[in-house]
Structure 1
């Protein structure tokens, strides 16, 4: 989907104009919003920031068993493990064939970033599921989400830069090897896994919706052919992440749209650095900065992050509502 080069992107005149200024404001604003949300909900140790809902949500986010157990206790974790392994194999084969056919220039596209991210997610998830199933008898059932008093007070601190009273309690416990140390370690990887899940879901929704709803029906690109690999790159990832969402026990809090915003912001900055260094085609027509409507395109894409992320927030809420009513005794989801 290479576009014809309309203007030399390495000249100062291409970058020093009102269009680039407005686009820079949209991009940098998204990045700053993402960083602020991370600071507020992930890094800050100010207890006044967190309400009861956020504290309960954070406790469940750090439950390692929720990363590998299905949402229904009647479904054996091995089925979720098999699904992740199969998904990883299919995605890995697809991305390998795509790179073999088109080369690493594919990584100029946001689609390939998202597709590779999904592949990494399912590879990571497969390892967590394998480990969880292997130690199934050693990990307590977490369907009721019971915590001891000390754990409830001090579990939500792994990313905090400073130490508070609760953090000191955790560090004191870390000085003594045992199951709690292992639990905290597992919870850390579980936390990273959930963050990756939320970034992946948003990125997949954005790429597939933009392609099938905007680019495919409305844009005509010279010498463009709808190949099998293109269809796979814009559909297989969505199918797999939807299946994962239906099976897993992970939450989907709104504030982690921050990581999704950072991913897109980093991609745009990457494109700008590349084009400022080398005069080349733009992978997407709405990234072209020489057209008068460029600021509008950038603003629209930035605003699209909210509904794209919101789709999965809604999907998780609907899943929780339905399964908690249909299977009240076997549904595993922390509140």
Structure 2
């Protein structure tokens, strides 16, 4: 015989309280670890450690640029939009055919999270394609090829940008080099959703 989960007495017992406390403790500890080891951190100025990238740092362009150098970000945008539309249609049809009761199953929530991942990825790619074609920080970012796997910039695409490359190379040790922008809340939320989906498989 199965317990009726719609009654208040089912939820108001000591087992549910213990489970709730354990989940909240896990969330609290996870938030402490994330704030300590992930995201942007203040680096010590005046030491050699300022040149090293801390682990877990996510740059804004890493969420919308393809990892393969030379592929235009619009291709990643197109893939994400098509995937989002297909997944959303499949989810809507599944709910229409089987009803809302499908969400009692863990696998359906995983499918919803993957759909959200592609939806958020589509929005971030749209923003990235907009940035790709506009000036960011006084320099056009589409004139510089970025290798996301190595985190380095390649040679400029045209001759007029070679002067900018020479300026960057001639900077002295006390002068600042161009800085990539660190991802904001939505970039890190996108990464967290990706990692959660990866762990569920």
| Fold similarity call, TM over 0.5 | yes
- Report whether the alignment pairs 1:120 with 2:110: no
Report the CA distance between 1:12 and its aligned residue: 7.1
Q: What displacement does 1:101 show?
A: 1.6
- CA deviations 1:128-160 (Å, max 9, x no partner) are 2233234424352343169984886xx8xxxxx
Task: Describe the superposition over 1:182-225 as per-residue Cα deviations: whole angstroms up to 9, x where unpaired.
Answer: x56x744333322332233334x1xxxxxxxxxxxxxxxxxxxx
Q: Is the 8 A contact 2:39 2:56 kept in 1?
A: no
| Alpha-carbon distance change, 145 to 57 in structure 1, aligned in 2, over 3 angstroms | farther
Deviation at 1:33, TM superposition (A): 2.9
Structure showing the higher helix proportion among its residues: 1
Name the count of aligned residue pairs. 163
For residue 54 of structure 2, give the secondary structure of its aligned residue in structure 1.
helix
Give a deviation string over 1:253-288, Cα, whole Å, max 9, x none: xxxxxxxxxxxxxxxxxxxxxxxxxxxxxxxxxxxx
- Taking a change above 3 Å as real, the CA distance of residues 42 and 150 of structure 1, as seen in their structure-2 partners, is farther
Question: Take 2:87 and 2:11, find their aligned partners in 1: how far apart are those partners?
Answer: 42
Q: Determine which structure has the larger strand proportion and give its number.
A: 2
Higher relative contact order (CA 8 A, sep 6+): 1
Task: Find the partner of 2:87 among 75, 86, 91.
Answer: 91
CA-CA distance at 1:97 after TM superposition: 0.6
Q: Deviations over 1:221-261 (max 9, x none)?
A: xxxxxxxxxxxxxxxxxxxxxxxxxxxxxxxxxxxxxxxxx
Q: C-alpha distance in 1, partners of 2:109/2:127?
A: 27
User: Take 1:7 and 1:193, find their aligned partners in 2: how far apart are those partners?
Assistant: 37
Tell me the residue number matched to 1:197.
Answer: 194
- The answer (yes or no) to whether the contact 1:8–1:14 under 8 Å persists in 2 is no
Structure 1 residues 57 and 44, CA, compared in 2 at 3 Å: closer, same or farther? closer
Q: Which residue of 1 aligns with 2:68?
A: 72
Partner of 2:54: 55
CA distance in 2 between counterparts of 1:130 and 1:43 reads 23
TM-score, length basis structure 2: 0.60
Q: RMSD across aligned C-alpha pairs, in angstroms?
A: 3.9
- Describe the superposition over 1:63-90 as per-residue Cα deviations: whole angstroms up to 9, x where unpaired: 2222121111133323222211121111
Q: How does 1:166-315 map to 2 (within 5 A)?
A: 187-203=184-200, 205=201
Name the CA distance, whole Å, in 2 between partners of 1:32 and 1:150: 37
Contact 1:88 1:122 in 2 (8 A): yes
1:96 CA displacement? 0.5
Structure 1, unpaired ranges of 5+: 156-182, 206-335
